[in-house]
Amino acid sequence: MTMSKKHPKPEELVAIDYQPRRRDWMDPHVEFRKGTFNYSANPKSMEYLGLPFVRKWQPTEDDWKLPPNWKEIILNGLRERIDRFRSLRIFMDICVRCGACADKCHFYIGSGDPKNMPVLRAELLRSVYRKDFTTAGKILGKLAGGRELTIPVLKEWFYYFYQCTECRRCSVFCPYGIDTAEITIIGRELLNLVGIGIDWITTPAANCFRTGNHLGIQPHGFKDSVDFAADDLEDITGIKVNPSVNRKGAEVLFVVPSADYFGDPHYFGFLGYLALFHEIGLDYTFSAFASEGGNFGLFHSHEMMKRLNAKIYAEAKRLGVKYIIGGECGHMWRVLHQYMDTMNGPADFLEVPKSPVTGTVFENARSTKMIHIAEFTADLIKHRKLKLDPHRNDNHRITFHDSCNPARAMGLLEEPRYILKNVCNHFYEMPENTIREQTFCCGSGSGLGTDENLEMRLRGGFPRANAVRYVHENHGVNLLVCICAIDKATLPGLMDFWVPGVSVGGLHELVGNALVMKGEKERDNDFRGTPLPGKEEKVHV
Amino acid sequence: MKILYSLLAVSISIAFAWVGTASGGLHYLFGVVFPAVAVFLFLFGIVYRVVRWARSPVPFHITTTCGQQKSLDWIKSSPLDNPSSTLGVIGRMALEVFFFRSLFRNTKMELKNGGKLVYGSAKYLWLAGLVFHWSFLIIVLRHFRFFLEPTPVFVGVLQNLDGFFQVGVPVLFMSDILILGALSFLFFRRIVTPQLRYISLISDYFPLLLIIAIAATGVLMRYFLKTDLVAVKQLMLGLFSVSPIVPEAISPLFYIHLFLVSVLLAYFPASKLVHMAGIFLSPTRNLSNNSRMKRHINPWNAPVKVHTYEEWEDEFRELIKGAGIPLEKE
Ligand code: HEM
Ligand code: SF4
Ligand code: SF4
């Protein structure tokens, strides 16, 4: 398919051919077509992080300026990881190529490219594993499905490991739970060993390492954003909230993805947090150093993930808080739920989280000492500690997008739904095969959300958008609610492209809108500045 | 091509055993040596594979959750699809191993005109897979009447169940029909579906064809070209008691059957068939989702260079001060 114009049209993208090509997949071949890949990492960022083989190169160039012993480095890296990760070794060995995972990947559905079937994505690495690490492959080579690691194979890895959002949908359907995300994560790790990474991951990681957040916002900038939000909230509600930064002795450290205080529509949810915590009188503080819960290190390597995440416990300890609450973010919660305690723990200097308002002890976070804001808020609502007026959200007909990681690496499914049903009156689920553990990725996760990769993102987001279109057409849904910073950043564009007329919002934006605060003035507008239901005329007089 | 190679490999095995025993007089080789070597390779190979897997640690707790987590008391969790306890994990694994739970979720995506995606139910793979595996298990267990004297009781029970319909003489076993049907489905599915054919390797066709050949030769012996079962049992008992005898009267067909089984056993540990053992060790399935409740230990927890608060404060001290944010060191 050729894409002549800069911006493809929906009719063009939807003409997908699922017929595999004639060329055998074992014959490596990749074409770096504009719009379907990411640019290489900025040398400055690589240097700052101390990454190896810093140089200028681009995927479209013939010569990637690899170190002379690149192959040895990668094969040694693979050997090391086979010995370190049972997941990898098992996943390399037991796939039966039943194909159950094939049409479960949003990138395959949206592109028809057979190498985007999770099974083939994994085979790109598995074939090299067979060639160099199994007896049959060493002797029989291609007959046993083995493939020599060559530069074209390496280029294929780069292309297809960055066309996987590490969403784990394939893993749900695989009879052995083979998780292609795990293979992609390790595959990217291998590429980074020879200095092949993408800028949209490496630069945020470098920023985060230096300033504490991906956007590179420095301490005073962070403080300004928080103060600015407090002022905005006062304009809307008439209530002055007083959030603190780096305050020692607070009960709770609150960590959010940085987009929450800088991005649109994230910011409206940030106002929601501030309103909520003020209303219940929570004794909490932000940290200008742990000013990022998101972790682009996860998309780079296990080591980078650990490096970036260290600050969260470090700050909790320094500030002397009792426990930590985390905001709305998908991959951030993958790290917090499944990696943090192991990597950066033990958190024995913290206490088991206990809601100061309801007295609920969060046994599910007994060891990590970190809870999800949706767990916290759902508990408040259940105990009727919040006065909510769902009519204030009546302008919205809402559906909920389960973000990949909270759904498939945590199981946070009911908490957000419970909250939603209490803060709005019009909630509609998307079709069954597209929600909860079967949810479809936004198509831009795992560091792929760049403009240069737009076509691939629109393709990858197609199944998600399609399900939204269904509720848009059948129930008039006009707001897609989610609990992930990447979703909030990328779904608006995806909606404009595939389902115009649907906007994107956060869960705590709706909580904040519905929350009736003690002593608030009569609100005319919601957090976005649009008139609340019934207030439309007033604004226009 | 790949199908052809697999077909060739199975055919050569058959021809080899036939020629060897029908005219070569190599009964001892095919009746004793090959089976013994195959059993050894099978056992040694499986143990080797499992030990290798087990030696790689599970550094992170990467459960794939397929239902509601256990969090607040009043929210109903899914103990089997998202287990938080060992008991739940056992339940989840049992569902996977006995009923192929995950495969049961299978759907088929279709892109309709006008760009609408629909996901239809697609249970045939699950059904055929389940029928094949269960039939295989039942058939293997039934074979114990040749391996043990006296024949174990469960074999009789299985035979009665399996031959429940009492059709034909000798009684037709349902598992024989089902395994051949299911295997044929699995094989043709691979050839007919373009995507599957695209991903299939020799090592995908070969085991299917090999097992089809084993089942077919078995069926031939049982229902059509009778073999001297007393002699077969003598041979097997001899093998299992490590004092082999080679009775005269057994037909080449039996040796073909036995040789194909030997090939399967020897091939097993070196192939994808190790999924039988691997499924139990898959970390996305066999870990409970309790990573926030209980600390999971990574034995090699890699040391990394972190950016400390002190370094951060040092770099931004003036800005922090200017913004009125508290400092550690003024
Ligand atoms: C714990 C025991 C086992 C479990 C849970 C298990 C599970 C599965 C599952 C879920 C599949 C994918 C679906 C399918 O294609 O049928 C599969 C495929 C397969 N299994 Fe097993 N299996 C086990 C043991 C065995 C054994 C002992 C054999 C035989 C030698 C075997 C041979 C095969 C073959 C040949 C396939 C591929 C079928 C195809 O190509 O379509 N499995 N197994
Ligand atoms: S579903 Fe699992 S076993 Fe089947 S092809 Fe995909 S990864 Fe392999
Ligand atoms: S993890 Fe998600 S993006 Fe990656 S192969 Fe699996 S389904 Fe596709």
Distance separating alpha carbons of residues B151 and B128, to the nearest angstrom = 30
The answer on A272 and A403 residing in a single domain is yes
Amino acid A6: pLDDT: 63
Instruction: Pick B282's closest partner by Cβ from A50, A177, A415.
Output: A177
The answer on A223 and A190 residing in a single domain is no
Is-contact A188 A299, C-beta < 8 A?
yes
Determine, yes or no, domain membership for A2.
no
Tell me the torsion sign for CA atoms B169, B174, B175, B180. Answer: positive
**Binary contact (B55, A83; C-beta < 8 A):** yes
CA atoms within 13 A on the CB side of A9: 4
Last residue within a domain, chosen from A197, A226, A247: A197
DSSP string, A353-390: -B-TTT--B-GGGTTT-EEEHHHHHHHHHHTT-S-B-G
The answer on A336 and A431 residing in a single domain is yes
Phi, psi of B14 (to 5 degrees): -65, -50
Is-contact A249 A320, C-beta < 8 A?
yes
Q: Is the CB of A515 under 6 A from ligand 3?
A: no
Is-contact A156 A121, C-beta < 8 A?
no
Q: List the domain range (segments joined by +) for residue A301.
A: 204-514
Under DSSP, the state recorded for B119 is E
CA atoms within 13 A on the CB side of B250: 25
Determine, yes or no, domain membership for A21.
no
The answer on A501 and A426 residing in a single domain is yes
The answer on A224 and A172 residing in a single domain is no
pLDDT tens per residue across span B283-300: 999 999 999 999 999 999
Amino acid at A380: L
Distance separating alpha carbons of residues B107 and B121, to the nearest angstrom = 5
Amino acid at B29: L
Total count of residues recorded for chain B: 330
Determine, yes or no, domain membership for A14.
no
The answer on A396 and A488 residing in a single domain is yes
CA nearest A245 in B: which residue? B325
Amino acid B223: pLDDT: 87
Tokens for B13? 């095995």
**Binary contact (B60, A433; C-beta < 8 A):** no
State the Cα torsion B70-B72-B73-B78 to the nearest 10°. -30
Phi, psi of A474 (to 5 degrees): -90, -30
Q: Say if strands A323-326 and A398-401 run parallel, antiparallel, or are unpaired.
A: unpaired
Residue A285 parent element (H or E): strand A284-285
Closest ligand to Cα A173: 2
Given a cut of 70, the residues of chain A with pLDDT beneath it are 1-6, 538-541
**Binary contact (B71, A375; C-beta < 8 A):** yes
Phi, psi of A479 (to 5 degrees): -140, 125
Tokens for B266? 């020897």
Domain boundaries, chain B: 2-298
Distance from CA of A527 to the nearest CA of B (A): 26
Is-contact B275 B55, C-beta < 8 A?
no
* Closest atom of ligand 2 to CA, residue B275: 3
Q: Can you tell me whether residue B200 is helix, strand or coil?
A: coil
Q: Structurally, how many domains does chain A consist of? A: 2
Q: In this structure, which residue's CA is closest to atom 37 in ligand 1?
A: A96
Is-contact A292 A259, C-beta < 8 A?
no
Distance separating alpha carbons of residues A13 and B307, to the nearest angstrom = 44
The CATH fold assigned to B2-298 is Fumarate Reductase Cytochrome B subunit (1.20.950)
Under DSSP, the state recorded for B32 is I
Tell me the sheet residues that pair with B119: B109
The answer on A208 and A103 residing in a single domain is no
Total count of residues recorded for chain A: 541
Under DSSP, the state recorded for A437 is G
Tokens for B73? 């008391």
Residue A46 parent element (H or E): helix A43-49
Instruction: Pick B53's closest partner by Cβ from A86, A96, A289.
Output: A86
Amino acid B163: pLDDT: 86
Amino acid at B321: K
Tokens for A425? 């009156």
Place of tokens 């001297």: B228
Q: Please determine, for residue B250, whether its predicted confidence score (pLDDT) is greater than 90.
A: no
Tell me the sheet residues that pair with A81: none
Mean of pLDDT values over B22-30: 87
Determine, yes or no, domain membership for A145.
yes
**Cα–ligand 1 centroid distance for A249 (angstroms):** 57
Is-contact A144 B253, C-beta < 8 A?
no
The answer on A212 and A176 residing in a single domain is no
Determine, yes or no, domain membership for A111.
yes
CA A457 to chain centre: 14
Q: Please determine, for residue B247, whether its predicted confidence score (pLDDT) is greater than 90.
A: no
Determine, yes or no, domain membership for A541.
no
Contacts of A83 in chain B (CB under 8 A): 55-56
Place of tokens 């609150």: A254
Distances, alpha carbon A227 to alpha carbons A223, A241, A476, in Å: 6, 9, 37
Q: Specify the pTM.
A: 0.95
Instruction: Pick B103's closest partner by Cβ from A100, A144, A370.
Output: A100
Tokens for A255? 């960590």
Taking alpha carbons only, the member of A118, A246, A513 closest to residue B327 is A246
Q: What is the mean pLDDT of chain B?
A: 94
Is-contact A245 A223, C-beta < 8 A?
yes
Closest ligand to Cα B42: 1
Tokens for A145? 């499905």
Closest ligand to Cα B132: 1
Mean of pLDDT values over B149-158: 89
Q: Is the CB of A96 under 6 A from ligand 1?
A: yes
Phi, psi of A254 (to 5 degrees): -110, 120
Distance separating alpha carbons of residues B103 and A170, to the nearest angstrom = 11
Tokens for A49? 């992080």
- Of B276, B281, B285, B286, the one to substitute when testing ligand 1's pocket (max ligand atoms within 8 A of C-beta) is B276
pLDDT tens per residue across span B209-231: 999 999 999 999 988 888 888 88
Q: In this structure, which residue's CA is closest to atom 25 in ligand 1?
A: B276
Last residue within a domain, chosen from A197, A227, A250: A197
Residue B108 parent element (H or E): strand B107-112
Is-contact A47 A54, C-beta < 8 A?
yes
Residue B111 parent element (H or E): strand B107-112
**Cα–ligand 3 centroid distance for A170 (angstroms):** 6
Amino acid B165: pLDDT: 81
**Binary contact (B71, A407; C-beta < 8 A):** no
Cβ neighbours around A30 below 10 Å, total: 18
Last residue within a domain, chosen from A197, A217, A241: A197
Cβ neighbors of A471 (< 8 A, separation 6 or more) are A399, A428, A429, A430, A477
SS (H, E, C) A402-429: CCHHHHHCCCCCHHHHHHHHHHCCCECC
pLDDT tens per residue across span A3-50: 445 678 998 899 999 998 878 999 999 999 999 999 999 999 999 999
The answer on A261 and A305 residing in a single domain is yes
Is-contact A305 A297, C-beta < 8 A?
yes
Indicate which CATH number applies to the domain containing A179: 1.10.1060
Distance separating alpha carbons of residues B217 and B237, to the nearest angstrom = 21
